[in-house]
Structure 1
Amino acid sequence: MKAFIEDYLKENNAYFESVSEYIFNHPETRFEEYKSAAFLAEACENQGFTVEHNVANIDTAFVATYGSGKPVIGFLGEFDALSGLGQKPNEVSYQPTENDNGHGCGHNLLGAGSFAAACAVKKYLEKNDLPGTVKFYGCPGEEGGSGKTFMVREGVFEGLDIALTWHPSPSNSIMSLSSLANYQVYFRFKGTASHAANSPHLGRSALDAVELMNMGVNYLREHVIEDARIHYAVTNTGGTSPNVVQANAEVLYLIRAPKLDEVDSIYKRICKIAEGAALMTETDVSIDFDKACSNYVPNRELEEVLHEKFVETGVEPYTEEEKSFAENIWNTLTDGEKSSFVNVMKGFGYVGDEKEFEGKYLSDSISPYQASEQVLKGSTDVGDVSWVVPTAQLTSATSVLGTTLHSWQMTSQGLTTIAHKGMFRAAQSMALTGLEMVTNPQRLERVQQEFQAFRKKNNYFNPIPQHIKPSKFKKD
């Protein structure tokens, strides 16, 4: 099985790299990934999958299916980019592109790698005339949109036996940590415009309300749990004229905590602060829920299988040219990024210390697996999938040690041979894990038993209200 998958991926290496390249060269932000989604969906059809478009009433979401019967193996693919991270690829200096968008989180690799894994499993089932179904999920809007949470709300993942996915990073490890649940909410204030010098007493400043709200929330930070995170962006200052009392202003809050009930509690307190700011300024406030996601629930049985296949796959040696490029990227990092590179990797499930990396700039080994009760200080909409389907994730080294996500360095490395080696490493590991579930029903049963035991003790509710629709990225 391993030889078959390895040979298949090598034979189709150029094809899957071209998929990654297309997505990289057409960077689109959340729920506007029209070119990338259409390209990937057509690629699935060309590979013999049947594609359902516009799933969950999202233009850029799709599901590609091959086969029939049990088990049903799902691979999650992403392809959205980030605003402000346009960068020429394969460069060791900051060189922004005319297109402001860029794949600073490696989703061109994520989508292409999961697609490659799905194709490899399909080919094996086909070649060996085995029962089973493989599904590739085109999941848009992970960056600030919680696309998968909307998809879960609409039942898109029903019937899956397991879900597998991965994420690019500097580490080779199982992503065994939970994540932070979150709410994203707009607070919109409306006041009264007036001449700021001639008749300021007649004006009621919405911008003052935003500033007072932000000040109140800053005082709240001392009185929330340690693992909570509260971020905000002022998305409408009311204009650029200081001689006008601003009648409209808006602030967007992202509230995170380890559990949804903790997020909800903090959210309600922030709503009270917003209402207080409106009272103080004699303005009106409207609160508009934008999106949310749940914490990630690791399935330990499935993680053990994924790690086993990850170790079997191993790390292909790096060339001297790749090592030289890596050193040049390393030299662009700040002292803080260099000194904390291991801590970043530990957030992705890495177990160990920096000793194994002495004199190196790339991870060339697979981290031992250790189930962790710690919480990743970030969020992912994979969390909601993990509440309805047994789910496991790995991270594969596609970038230089110390590279942070959402940086120009991450974008620059998105088409390197280093990145594509990591992509195929992830694809092979996930494909072998999926096939293990097909050929070894006892292991699949253990995975299912763990999931069912968890759900018996933990109820799930989708955190996005039914009337909320996905929101596209708003530029200034």
Structure 2
Amino acid sequence: MKSFVETYLKNHRDYFASVSKYIYEHPETRFEEYQSAAFLAAECEKQGFTVERNVANMKTAFVASYGTGDPVIGFLGEYDALSGLGQKPNALKCEPDGKENGHGCGHNLLGTGAFAAACAMKNYLEKNKLKGTVKFFGCPGEEGGSGKTFMVREGVFDHVDIALTWHPAPINAIMSLSSLANYQVYFRFKGTPSHAANTPHLGRSALDAVELMNVAVNYLREHVIEEARIHYAITNSGGVSPNVVQANAEVLYLIRAPKISDVDRIYQRICKIAQGAALMTETDVSIHFDKACSNYIPNRHLEKILYDQFVETGVETFTDKEMAFAKQMWNTLSNEEKTNFLDMAKGFGYHGDGKEFEGKYLADTISPYVPSQEILKGSTDVGDVSWVVPTAQLSCATAVLGTSLHSWQMTAQGLTSIANKGMIRAAQALALTGLHILQNPADLQKIKEEFEQFKKENPYKCPIPQDVKPSKLKK
């Protein structure tokens, strides 16, 4: 089994690198991944999958399926980019490439690696005439859109036995941490315009309301749980004319905490602050729920199997050229990034003191698997999938140690041979895990027992209200 998957991925390495390259060169933000989704769905069809498009009423979501019967193994793929991170690939300095968007979170690799895993497993089933179903989920809008949460709400993952995915990173590990749940909400203030000099007393400033709200929320930070995070961006300041009292203004809040219940409590307090700001300025406020996602729930038995297959896959050696490039990229990092890179690594599941990285710029080991009760200080819509399907994910080294996600350095490394090696390693570990589950029903039973026990004690409720629709990125 290992030999088959390894050989298949080795023989098709250039093909999958070309798929990743296409997505990299067509960076599109949430729910506008028209070219990337269409391309990837078409490639699925070329590989023998049956594709259902426009899943969950989203034009850039799709599900590719192969096979019949149980178990149903799902691979989660992403392909959305980030605004403002257009970057020349392989460059050793911040050098925009003329594109507004860029793959600063490596989703060109993530989506392609999950696709490669699905293809490897599909070919194994086909060659050996085995029953079972492989599904590749084309999931849009992870960055600020919670596309998978919308898909969960619409029942897309019903009848899936396990879900597997991965994330590009500077290290190799099982991502065993939970994550922060979140709400994303717009607060829109409406006031009264007036001449700011001649008749300021007749105006009611919506921008004043936004500013007062932000100040009050900043005071709130002292009085929320330590793990919470509250971010905001003013998305409409009311125009560019300072001599007009701004009649319309808007602020977008992203509220994070370990559990949805924690998020909701903070959200309710922020709503009161918004109403207070409107009262102080004699403006009106309307609240528009944009999206949400739940915290990630690891399945420990599935994680252990994924880890074993990851170790079985191993880590490729790096060439002198790759190591020289890595050293140059390392030198573009700030002293703080170099000093604190282990903190970031722990968020990806790393356990250790970092001694194995001394004198190195690339991770060439796999971190021991240690189930963690700590919380990743970030959010992912994989969280909602994990509430309805037993889920596990790994991180695989595709970038230099210390590389931050959502940075120009991450974008610059997205097409390197280092990145492609990590992508293929991740695909192999995922495919082998899927095949192990298919051929070992006793392990699947243990995974399901763990999951059912969690569900019994923690009933799931989708955090996105039924009337909320996916929203594109405001530009």
Please give the TM-score of this superposition, normalised by the length of structure 1.
Answer: 1.00
TM-superposed CA distance for 1:91, in Å, is 1.1
- What amino acid maps onto 1:392 in structure 2? A
2:224 is the counterpart of 1:219: no
- What amino acid maps onto 2:161 in structure 1? D
2:397 is the counterpart of 1:389: no
- Secondary structure of the structure 2 residue equivalent to 1:326: helix
Structure 1 residue runs of 4 or more that deviate by more than 2 Å after TM superposition:
none
TM-superposed CA distance for 1:392, in Å, is 0.1
Equivalent residues in 2 for 1:18-29 (5 A)? 18-29=18-29
**Structure 2, gaps ≥5 residues long:** none
Name the structure 2 match of 1:96.
96
- Secondary structure of the structure 1 residue equivalent to 2:269: helix
Name the structure 2 match of 1:310.
310
- What amino acid maps onto 1:237 in structure 2? S
Q: Over residues 390-449 of structure 1, what are the superposed CA-to-partner deviations in whole Å (9 max), with x where a residue is unaligned?
A: 000000000000000000000000000000000001000000000000111111111111
Name the structure 1 match of 2:65.
65
Structure 2: distance between partners of 1:102 and 1:306: 30
Structure 2: distance between partners of 1:365 and 1:72: 31
Name the structure 1 match of 2:152.
152
2:199 is the counterpart of 1:199: yes
**Structure 1, gaps ≥5 residues long:** none
- Secondary structure of the structure 2 residue equivalent to 1:179: coil
- What amino acid maps onto 2:309 in structure 1? K
Equivalent residues in 2 for 1:214-253 (5 A)? 214-253=214-253
- What amino acid maps onto 2:152 in structure 1? V
- What amino acid maps onto 2:107 in structure 1? H
- Secondary structure of the structure 1 residue equivalent to 2:369: coil
Structure 1: distance between partners of 2:164 and 2:452: 18
- What amino acid maps onto 2:445 in structure 1? E
Structure 1: distance between partners of 2:94 and 2:278: 43
Q: Over residues 96-133 of structure 1, what are the superposed CA-to-partner deviations in whole Å (9 max), with x where a residue is unaligned?
A: 01111000000000000000000000000001111100
TM-superposed CA distance for 1:450, in Å, is 0.4
Structure 2: distance between partners of 1:357 and 1:152: 39
Structure 2: distance between partners of 1:44 and 1:353: 42
Name the structure 1 match of 2:421.
421
Equivalent residues in 2 for 1:303-452 (5 A)? 303-452=303-452
- What amino acid maps onto 2:183 in structure 1? Y
TM-superposed CA distance for 1:353, in Å, is 1.4
Q: Over residues 317-341 of structure 1, what are the superposed CA-to-partner deviations in whole Å (9 max), with x where a residue is unaligned?
A: 0000000000001000001100000
- What amino acid maps onto 2:24 in structure 1? F
- What amino acid maps onto 2:326 in structure 1? A
Structure 2: distance between partners of 1:178 and 1:130: 34
Q: Over residues 177-222 of structure 1, what are the superposed CA-to-partner deviations in whole Å (9 max), with x where a residue is unaligned?
A: 0000000000000000000000000000000000000000000000
CA RMSD of superposed structures (Å) = 0.4
- What amino acid maps onto 1:111 in structure 2? G
Structure 1: distance between partners of 2:273 and 2:190: 16
Q: Over residues 122-171 of structure 1, what are the superposed CA-to-partner deviations in whole Å (9 max), with x where a residue is unaligned?
A: 00000111110000000000000000000000000000000000000101
Structure 2: distance between partners of 1:57 and 1:171: 36
Structure 1: distance between partners of 2:309 and 2:342: 24
Please give the TM-score of this superposition, normalised by the length of structure 2.
Answer: 1.00
TM-superposed CA distance for 1:347, in Å, is 0.5
Equivalent residues in 2 for 1:77-88 (5 A)? 77-88=77-88
2:16 is the counterpart of 1:16: yes
Name the structure 2 match of 1:170.
170
Structure 2: distance between partners of 1:466 and 1:401: 42
Structure 1: distance between partners of 2:440 and 2:269: 49
Q: Over residues 4-33 of structure 1, what are the superposed CA-to-partner deviations in whole Å (9 max), with x where a residue is unaligned?
A: 000000111111110000000000000000
- What amino acid maps onto 1:270 in structure 2? I
2:272 is the counterpart of 1:276: no
Structure 2: distance between partners of 1:305 and 1:139: 24
Structure 1: distance between partners of 2:21 and 2:300: 34
- What amino acid maps onto 1:145 in structure 2? G
- Secondary structure of the structure 1 residue equivalent to 2:252: strand
- What amino acid maps onto 1:124 in structure 2? Y
- What amino acid maps onto 1:37 in structure 2? A
- What amino acid maps onto 2:454 in structure 1? F
TM-superposed CA distance for 1:249, in Å, is 0.3
Structure 1: distance between partners of 2:84 and 2:408: 9
TM-superposed CA distance for 1:458, in Å, is 0.5
Structure 2: distance between partners of 1:263 and 1:46: 43
TM-superposed CA distance for 1:354, in Å, is 1.8
Structure 1: distance between partners of 2:171 and 2:445: 30
Name the structure 2 match of 1:47.
47
Structure 2: distance between partners of 1:188 and 1:97: 35
- Secondary structure of the structure 2 residue equivalent to 1:155: coil
Structure 2: distance between partners of 1:235 and 1:422: 37
Structure 2: distance between partners of 1:88 and 1:300: 40
2:117 is the counterpart of 1:117: yes
Name the structure 1 match of 2:75.
75
- Secondary structure of the structure 2 residue equivalent to 1:286: strand
The number of aligned residues is 475
Q: Over residues 350-369 of structure 1, what are the superposed CA-to-partner deviations in whole Å (9 max), with x where a residue is unaligned?
A: 01112111110000000000
Name the structure 2 match of 1:265.
265
